[in-house]
Structure 1
């Protein structure tokens, strides 16, 4: 909200709802928040139940029944399959830091610049690491899906967090759109700068009204003085124009014949 007061909308989605949509979404915000809380509680209850059952089945039950060998075989297979991938990943980071990056520009720099040192070695490593990275990518895709499901279940009750990918959170996620709409409505109606400006404007208007009209509804002294000054200015301007006209005609008698003639006295009287 403080960022919105300053005019900073970096935390909002690129596509914000229109004014009427934001107002309608802000009305349904409270109901959606309650529904999200109940649905999140239900999903978390099921998730924790499944996690507790899996923990009991894979860890507690083998230890209670004396199946220690099965317990160690299960976790040994997991560690044996995951440790090589982790070791290769850290080995790639070490090789990239030592051989593929140029030296630091300054001894005080914390990291090396993103500039290649051995381009051909880098290309060879990328080529021969394709097949290994395909296997790692399949595991990473499965891990990405599982993590998205877990974090989605954990944050389903949070209306300020969207479960949609980037670019769709402002229009496809109803709860998140309602939260953004409430922020916009509150920011537009509780902005301290706008409130102070409106307060000063209203105060100035009331002050001017008190000085302009008295209790009987007539013009006050200030209003009469303003009207008098304006009338005197108009008269002074008209006098200056007439003076310059007479001076110009006096210095240029030939312009008298070119002046525009006014209406006849009878026509002027009838028009009046």
Structure 2
């Protein structure tokens, strides 16, 4: 009985073991196994919502302290000019302020907005009050919160930008604390959870690189300014007496001889011609001119948009293609056979062919993305050259062809609205242009690769070439018709008498036009198709540019992007004309005499005339003409420049509103 019981026990144990062996891969103790390639959700030590709430409270406290500081500077004697209690985030129309801080803040803001679609909650602090689901994850309501986040994040980074506009040591100290807090929180979150399951495991980390770069720059810039404010506190009174950009611009404008002599020292060889051509198409800094802050911000945002859109297009498609290529098995031969496609009798060879075609598809996609990013970046640099040329022309008083109706130099409600939206429109156009170029170039590269290059390389599936070869009479007829007409137009219907071309053999011209009409209709069909393709490519490449219209000149005003650009130039020239700013600064200095600085500063405020301080001429030839000639030339150049300034036309007398350069009336 014992043996029987033992046999029964052993058999039962064997059955239990065999029964349990069927589920040996199942998780034990209610533990779930993550599928291969799936990134598990990360649980940081401190909830992100708590950190974000702390930063929001700190930003509000810093903003209140900045408002109190600005208010105290108003009440103190000699505290500066009158300003509102709430500091502005940045001076968009300033000419001498730093452009690095606004560019960094806008880059941080745009990068934060780009991370919204992949975030668990549109507003991070909502995760603190949202109920927990059964699997332990927090759920935050979406929908209208996404639209609210578009207004929340600019207010969230308002204090970070406003610390730079107060220009006080206390403001720099607050900016240092706030930038360190933002940068530390971001680094802490990315170090604890570098991978996320959405889109791509490293997408959040890669998309946060511009954000970390901007915050890292601000965390270094504010402490440097704080140290400089303490070290140069004794020389703060002389800061306003130093040369500014408007004075430098006017000095460069009124002293062109020195620049011309230095620019013509090199010989006009091949390298110099290449450099001139390079400077004509690629933006390079130019002495005596600075781009407005809004254009600098637009260029920064466009570069950030190119990075963000290219990263999303790359990580959203390429890893998927790689996973599909790695998971191809011999079953794909049956799938293709169901559609009537038989690549080979050997299944393993079919697998290799499918993997090869998927690899070619991946190469086409990456090549199209590289081409799209390169063209968008080149169009951006080309736009900066156009912006500089247009601004310089408007500063000189020239009239640009900005549309059929006459363009008034005075500001308007539409012009102010367009000026406010210019940077945002430029960013949106760049994103949409890059996406459109990617689609067009990807389809084009796939068609070339699978219909031309790969069939020619392997010598099989020459469907396109065979179809084109079967239509050789059609293409030969069109080619002959076009060639013969061009040759006849050059040798038969056109002759030169006494150096002037004349039309001859009109009877033969009329006969050829009548006889070749049907063939020319077919040629016209091909030209129309090419016209559509060329227009689509041109508009896709230049979609991100706002300095040119995608419509004909007669309908240029119907292009919203081009109309926004024209009104943007109007406001910039009207409110930020460097000659006008320099002239007004000179008037303020002459009306409010200040103590004379040290002789090494080179500024004699009590002895300057109109434009004399701006014209610090070191040219011995110019000095030899005498002080009266230099004074007259300076006054005449300044008068001519200010005469064409749109910002001063409103305050000018009616008799001088249309004055010419030589003083005569129209």
Q: TM-score range by the shorter chain?
A: 0.5 to 0.7
- Tell me the alpha carbon deviations over residues 37-69 of structure 1, each in whole angstroms, 9 at most, x when there is no partner: 111121122222212221222024424654165
Q: 167, 176, 180: which one pairs with 2:562?
A: 176
- Tell me the alpha carbon deviations over residues 85-139 of structure 1, each in whole angstroms, 9 at most, x when there is no partner: 3443232222122222231433xxxxx53x3223333333333332222222222
In the alignment, structure 1 residue 12 sits paired with structure 2 residue 402: yes
Matched with 1:49 is 442
Higher helix proportion (structure 1 or 2): 1
In the alignment, structure 1 residue 117 sits paired with structure 2 residue 504: yes
Distance 1:141 1:36 in 2: 28
- Tell me the alpha carbon deviations over residues 195-224 of structure 1, each in whole angstroms, 9 at most, x when there is no partner: 5665666677x38xxxxxxxxxxxxxxxxx
Q: Per the alignment, do residues 49 and 78 of structure 1 end up closer, same or farther by CA in structure 2, a change over 3 Å counting? A: farther
* Contact persistence 2:451–2:462 (CA under 8 A): no
Q: 21, 40, 54: which one pairs with 2:433?
A: 40
Distance 1:59 1:145 in 2: 22
Larger Rg: 1
Distance 1:87 1:190 in 2: 60
* Contact persistence 1:100–1:116 (CA under 8 A): yes
1:120-131 matched pairs, under 5 angstroms: 120-131=507-518
1:91-170 matched pairs, under 5 angstroms: 91-106=484-499, 112-113=500-501, 115-170=502-557
Q: Per the alignment, do residues 197 and 80 of structure 1 end up closer, same or farther by CA in structure 2, a change over 3 Å counting? A: farther
* Contact persistence 1:162–1:176 (CA under 8 A): yes
Matched with 1:89 is 482
1:11-30 matched pairs, under 5 angstroms: 11-15=401-405, 16=407, 19-30=412-423
Q: Per the alignment, do residues 67 and 42 of structure 1 end up closer, same or farther by CA in structure 2, a change over 3 Å counting? A: same
Distance 2:426 2:583 in 1: 33
* Contact persistence 2:437–2:541 (CA under 8 A): yes
- Tell me the alpha carbon deviations over residues 168-203 of structure 1, each in whole angstroms, 9 at most, x when there is no partner: 221x21111111112222233344555566566667
Matched with 1:253 is none
- Tell me the alpha carbon deviations over residues 245-272 of structure 1, each in whole angstroms, 9 at most, x when there is no partner: xxxxxxxxxxxxxxxxxxxxxxxxxxxx
TM-score, normalization by structure 1:
0.61
Runs (5+) with no aligned partner, structure 1: 107-111, 208-272
Matched with 1:232 is none
Instruction: Give the 3-state SS of the residue equivalent to 1:103 in structure 2.
Output: strand
TM-score, normalization by structure 2:
0.27
Q: CA deviation at 1:32?
A: 0.3
Distance 1:83 1:3 in 2: 51
Distance 2:424 2:551 in 1: 21
In the alignment, structure 1 residue 2 sits paired with structure 2 residue 392: yes
In the alignment, structure 1 residue 189 sits paired with structure 2 residue 189: no
* Contact persistence 1:62–1:71 (CA under 8 A): no
Q: CA deviation at 1:72?
A: 4.1
Distance 1:26 1:78 in 2: 55
Q: Per the alignment, do residues 100 and 25 of structure 1 end up closer, same or farther by CA in structure 2, a change over 3 Å counting? A: same
Instruction: Give the 3-state SS of the residue equivalent to 2:550 in structure 1.
Output: coil
Distance 1:6 1:104 in 2: 46
Q: Which one has more relative contact order, counting CA pairs under 8 Å at least 6 apart? A: 1
Q: CA deviation at 1:33?
A: 0.5
* Contact persistence 1:63–1:71 (CA under 8 A): no
Q: CA deviation at 1:75?
A: 5.0
Q: Per the alignment, do residues 72 and 188 of structure 1 end up closer, same or farther by CA in structure 2, a change over 3 Å counting? A: same
Which deviates more from structure 2 when the two are superposed, residues 48-57 or residues 72-81? 72-81
Q: Per the alignment, do residues 202 and 94 of structure 1 end up closer, same or farther by CA in structure 2, a change over 3 Å counting? A: farther
* Contact persistence 2:478–2:519 (CA under 8 A): no
Instruction: Give the 3-state SS of the residue equivalent to 2:555 in structure 1.
Output: coil
* Contact persistence 2:415–2:571 (CA under 8 A): yes
1:195-234 matched pairs, under 5 angstroms: 195=581, 206=591
Matched with 1:262 is none
